[in-house]
Each structure stands twice: as structure tokens, then as C-alpha cells.
Amino acid sequence: MNSMFSLLMAFLTQLFMPRQNAQLRLLKAQIQILRTRVPTQRIILSPEEKAELLRVGAECGHDIDRLMEVAKPATYKRWLAQMHSGRPFKAVGRPRRT
């Protein structure tokens, strides 16, 4: 019974992995197109966006070197260390004047 389950899982993996890889390539291509249209090279993320990237990155086992497009992998790892140390993310830039 266990070998039947393994065989079924191998079949399903072969069936769905190429489609999932194609979807990821499509998303990365769209990100690259959008980045060329952004007037600046620096994209400033909010603390909520950083937390979301870390949450999704955890699902990938934080193996994001080829996946991260909006920040450098070293920046992502710095955010991860900051999160593990318990320091909250701060908004980037000068505070607004009231």
C-alpha cells in the first residue's frame, strides 16, 4: 500500500511540477517588466510587506536566492535576522511633518 501511495505521489509531482514552474517563470517575467517601468531602482517596502515576504519565504524554507526580485537576498537575510532578534521593522525614510 505504501509503494502504491509513493507511485501516485511521484505521478502527481511529474504532472503538476512543470505547470507550477511555468507559473513561477511567468510571475518572475512580469516582475522584471514592471521593474523596468519603475522610475527608480530602489523599491522601498513597508514593514507589512517585509513581514509578508518573510512569511512566504518561510514556506520555501528561506531558500530565496533565485526567487527574490524586489530585494537582494542579503537584505532578505538581514530582515530574517532582525525578525528572529525580536526587533520590529521600522518605516524607512524621514517622518512626515504635521
pLDDT values of the chain reduced to their tens digit, one per residue, 98 residues: 678 778 777 777 777 777 777 778 888 888 877 877 787 777 788 888 888 889 888 888 888 887 787 888 898 899 999 988 988 887 777 777 87
The pLDDT value given to residue 1: 64
- E-assigned strands of the chain? none
Cell of 49: 510587506
Query: By C-alpha distance, which of 22, 39, 41 is closest to 30?
Result: 22
The pLDDT value given to residue 11: 73
pTM equals: 0.64
